[in-house]
Homo-oligomer: A and B are copies of this chain.
Amino acid sequence: MRIGLDVMGGDYAPEKIISGAILAYKELKNSAEIVLFGPQNIITELLKKHKTEPNCFSIEHCSEVIEMCENPVKAFTTKTDSSIVKGFKLLTNNEIQGFTSAGNSGAVMVGATKVSKTIEGIIRPCISSLIPNTNNSFNVLLDVGINVDCAPEQLYQFGIIGSIYANLINNIPNPKVGLLNIGSEEIKGNRIVRQAFELMKSSNDFNFYGNIEGNEIFDINKADVIVTDGFTGNVLLKQAESFFNLAYQNSNENSFINKFNYELYGGTPVLGINHNLIIGHGISNDIAVKNMIIQTKKLHDTAILANIKKMFRYEKN
């Protein structure tokens, strides 16, 4: 497969993006080709600095850069020779089979919804995050920010998508899907969540576990997939991130606390669109970039797209 990487996106771009690409190249060996999107001269210069042969990578020259603070829609529409816009162009042409960017996430989402487009049958795409659990593995939390208001049917679809993701990406057979709530009983929660529970409890599309509370997110014996709306998911995830920062600053190196270093995990897959796409944090360092590339490859290798599409075709019939 060919994996596109936005060299100009992120607070530490382009330096750390290139170092990340080199780390990924070493890890992937020849199992995938990394395509660097950005100004040719900057890329070749940085590769030279790292004493890396330019022919380890493909380079897709882009003359424009979408800055982090730009208006997403306007930037995506006007800067047609930017790394983000070209990334989506090559995705739709199937010249690359996945794309990852730590750049202007609004602009990336414009590409996701307007160019890559939502998979038929899916109400709206979502983004998910891996939550470290107490068994050296990960639970999946979704949505973590795109859908701030969710209908019960959307939460139900997150259950399907999350289940496929946990199965293929985290290698969990028949993943348990939990609905984030403020109590374990069926009657708990707000109207939307109670309606979602109603839909989920008789689901044949995934293995419904029941309600999951905030203190059970990191558990290994509860749900493998935690479904919530993008508002709650976003504040939860950000709280978890800041927890890591606080704990890390205040403790000695601790392998457990390190598991909460979200920076190292790479990015967030956009699920429900027609291509493999990983959005990174603005603050992505080289390790994060390397992992974004590896993640993109994993999306491709596990054929998660095809699996999601298949599931939603089935849904419609």
Contact = CB atoms under 8 A, between A and B. Distances in A.
A134 B243 CA distance: 11
Given A190-B148, A250-B254, A251-B254, A213 B232 contact: no
A217 interface: yes
Contact of A182 (B182, B230, B254): B230
Interface residues of A, number: 39
A149 B191 contact: yes
Nearest to A145: B182
A236 interface: yes
A107 to B, nearest CB: 15
A238 B215 contact: yes
Nearest to A188: B148
A12 interface: no
Interface in A282-314: none
Contacts of A180: 235
Interface in A245-288: 245-247, 250-251, 254, 256-257
A245 B215 CA distance: 9
A46 interface: no
Given A149-B191, A190-B149, A246 B214 contact: no
Contacts of A215: 238-239, 241-242, 245
Nearest to A247: B247
A127 to B, nearest CB: 12
30 contacts: A134-B246, A148-B182, A148-B190, A181-B235, A182-B234, A190-B231, A214-B234, A214-B236, A214-B238, A214-B241, A215-B238, A215-B242, A215-B245, A217-B239, A217-B242, A218-B246, A228-B235, A231-B232, A235-B236, A239-B239, A239-B240, A240-B243, A243-B247, A247-B247, A247-B256, A250-B254, A250-B256, A250-B257, A251-B254, A251-B257
A292 B158 CA distance: 40
Nearest to A219: B242
Closest 6 CB pairs of A and B: A214-B238, A214-B235, A250-B256, A215-B242, A215-B238, A148-B190
